[in-house]
């Protein structure tokens, strides 16, 4: 088998990257899968140390230096090219009364600009001074190179290096090179485990209803998705108590609750749905799978995240506790086979070329601690995380479920505005009721929302 050394050599794209490459080719001139965060820092005592920490992070991050080209046969390849590594751009807006608003306008303009993967660097790094001690770090990339976990990994590494510079803290281990992940993935795809995982997913996709499929390039991403945000922080105590009672981690409990809610409530064009003669409901729900635990990828900024179908089946009249136990077991089984790429699943499924699964509804629970910079009040602003299909549910919180936030998004061409308002308002009510201990014995269809 071929093992890769990232420095200077042209390497094939991973299956996940090929999907975004096709998206780029089918949507020329569009800003489709740009990913960007802004870290807002107040109380920066040593701005030059912050700049040095960002520059050191850039130097460690291979994916910021990726260059793409096509071979003579038209196949895309990539290499780590030091000439593509972005220089840190320093911008001083401290003389403007509207410094913060202007900074966000500048960053949004960069995010909204089309990115040519063949001709342009895929990463940008800015440090914007708004006032004494008040800075914005703009970190922009593209989904072909990194996912949300990778963005957080980069931010946490930078915070670690900053702490080492200003406080003499342990700088820790550097980020691992991209080649480490590519080699591990090559070994996995040649292993018996890969074949066994493939058999599992073939069996899952035999169930009805079959997942929806769309042609790549036919995506009509709305100019603006319907969206509604809710603060769920008041549910933390009930969430932790209920998670302990049912023997799940709190992220898994929220995942299966949102999955059950979707199967009970979604009836528009955003979901595949089947109800049998006995009233039993079946719906494939899509879940991002981090695919990093136990892998070198835990310390490699790269596009690693997978998207997998959870086969949700339930009866509206069954008790909540029974549904949670069954769906929790299916979620654990999904994870045991979660490294098998969705792109390979599609090929095994017999999907036509230039087609893909329609990832809706998609439920994404993100239990990650944000980077904290020494001596600073730190806030992360997600400026762009790429487009989504259909109906999307995102819940963010730290590792202890503090600061829980719910974001519900939908495509207005599939979910009418009136339906969206009802659904977006109903989900928080459903979660609140489902986290009450006395409701574990209640039938699902008696829960509000």
Q: How far apart are CA 88 and CA 39, in angstroms?
A: 15
Do 183 and 15 contact (CB within 8 A), yes or no? no
- Other beta carbons less than 10 A from residue 377's beta carbon: 13
Q: Which domains does the chain have, with CATH numbers?
A: 11-180 (3.30.559.10), 193-446 (3.30.559.30)
Measured CA distances, 220 to 26, 214, 268 (Å): 12, 11, 17
Provide the β-strand partners of residue 227.
409
What is the structure's pLDDT at 220? 59
How do beta strands 226-231 and 405-410 pair? antiparallel
Could you tell me the two tokens for 281? 């409901």
Could you tell me the two tokens for 327? 């769906």
Do 167 and 374 contact (CB within 8 A), yes or no? yes
What is the structure's pLDDT at 88? 98
Cβ neighbours for 41, distance < 8 A, ≥ 6 positions apart = 50, 134, 135, 136, 137, 373, 376, 377, 378
What number of H helices and E strands is found in the chain? 11, 17
Cβ neighbours for 274, distance < 8 A, ≥ 6 positions apart = 208, 209, 281, 282, 283
At 39-53, the pLDDT tens digits run 999 999 999 999 999
Q: How far apart are CA 8 and CA 79, in angstroms?
A: 6
What is the structure's pLDDT at 1? 47
Q: Is the peptide bond before 314 cis (omega within 30 degrees of 0)?
A: no
What is the structure's pLDDT at 31? 79
One digit per residue, pLDDT tens: the chain, 449 residues? 455 555 678 999 999 999 899 888 888 878 788 999 999 999 999 999 999 999 999 999 999 999 999 998 889 999 999 999 999 999 999 999 999 999 999 999 999 999 999 999 999 999 999 999 999 999 999 999 999 999 999 999 999 999 999 999 999 999 999 999 999 999 999 999 999 999 999 999 988 898 888 887 655 555 578 999 999 999 999 999 999 999 999 999 999 999 999 999 999 888 889 999 999 999 999 999 988 888 999 999 999 999 999 999 999 999 999 999 999 999 999 999 999 999 999 999 999 888 889 999 999 999 988 899 999 999 999 998 766 778 999 999 999 999 999 999 999 989 999 999 999 999 999 999 999 999 999 999 999 99
φ, ψ for residue 119, nearest 5 deg:
-110, -20
Do 154 and 139 contact (CB within 8 A), yes or no? yes
At 85-123, the pLDDT tens digits run 999 999 999 999 999 999 999 999 999 999 999 999 999
Q: Of 403, 441, 401, which is closest to residue 248 (Cα–Cα)?
A: 401
Ramachandran region, residue 66 (left: φ > 0; alpha: ψ -120 to 50; beta: rest): beta
Cβ neighbours for 251, distance < 8 A, ≥ 6 positions apart = 365, 367
> Coil, strand, or helix at residue 403?
coil
What percent of the chain has a predicted confidence (pLDDT) above 70?
96
Q: How far apart are CA 109 and CA 75, in angstroms?
A: 31
Do 238 and 401 contact (CB within 8 A), yes or no? no
Do 381 and 347 contact (CB within 8 A), yes or no? no
Ramachandran region, residue 279 (left: φ > 0; alpha: ψ -120 to 50; beta: rest): left
Provide the β-strand partners of residue 39.
137, 380
């Amino acid at each position: 088998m071929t093992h890769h050394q990232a420095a200077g050599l042209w390497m094939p794209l991973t299956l996940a990257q090929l999907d975004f490459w096709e998206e780029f080719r089918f949507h020329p001139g569009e800003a489709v899968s740009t990913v960007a965060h802004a870290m807002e820092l107040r109380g920066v005592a040593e701005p030059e140390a912050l700049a040095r920490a960002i520059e050191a992070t850039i130097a460690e991050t291979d994916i910021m230096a990726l260059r793409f080209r096509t071979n003579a046969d038209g196949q895309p390849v990539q290499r780590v090219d030091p000439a593509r590594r972005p220089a840190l751009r320093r911008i001083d807006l401290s003389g403007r009364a509207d410094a913060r608003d202007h900074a966000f306008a500048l960053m949004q303009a960069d995010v909204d600009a089309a990115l040519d993967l063949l001709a342009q660097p895929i990463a940008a790094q800015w440090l914007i001074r708004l006032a004494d001690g008040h800075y914005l770090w703009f970190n922009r990339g593209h989904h072909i190179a990194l996912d949300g976990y990778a963005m957080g990994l980069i931010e946490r590494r930078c915070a670690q290096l900053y702490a080492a510079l200003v406080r003499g803290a342990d700088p820790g281990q550097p980020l691992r090179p991209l080649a480490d992940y590519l080699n591990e993935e090559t070994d996995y795809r040649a292993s018996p485990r890969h074949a066994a995982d493939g058999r599992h997913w073939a069996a899952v996709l035999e169930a009805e209803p079959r997942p929806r499929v769309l042609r790549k390039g036919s995506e009509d991403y709305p100019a603006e998705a319907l969206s509604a945000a809710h603060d769920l922080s008041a549910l933390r105590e009930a969430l932790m108590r209920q998670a302990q009672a049912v023997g799940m981690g709190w992220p898994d409990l929220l995942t299966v609750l949102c999955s059950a809610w979707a199967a009970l409530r979604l009836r528009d064009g955003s979901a595949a749905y089947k109800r049998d003669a006995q009233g039993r409901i079946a719906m494939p729900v899509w879940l991002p799978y981090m695919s990093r635990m136990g892998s070198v990828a835990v310390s490699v900024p790269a596009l690693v995240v997978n998207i997998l179908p959870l086969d949700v089946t339930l009866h509206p009249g069954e008790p909540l506790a029974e549904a949670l136990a069954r769906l929790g077991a299916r979620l654990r089984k999904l994870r045991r086979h979660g490294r098998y790429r969705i792109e390979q699943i599609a090929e095994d499924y017999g999907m036509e070329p230039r087609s893909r699964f329609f990832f809706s509804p998609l439920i994404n629970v993100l239990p990650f601690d944000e980077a904290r910079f020494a001596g600073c009040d730190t806030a992360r602003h997600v400026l762009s995380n790429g487009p989504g299909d259909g109906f999307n549910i995102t819940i963010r919180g730290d590792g202890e479920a503090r600061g829980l936030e719910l974001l519900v998004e939908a495509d207005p061409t599939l979910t009418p505005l009136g339906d969206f308002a009802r659904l977006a308002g109903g989900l928080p009510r459903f979660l609140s009721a489902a986290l009450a201990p006395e409701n574990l014995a209640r039938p699902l269809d008696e829960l509000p929302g």
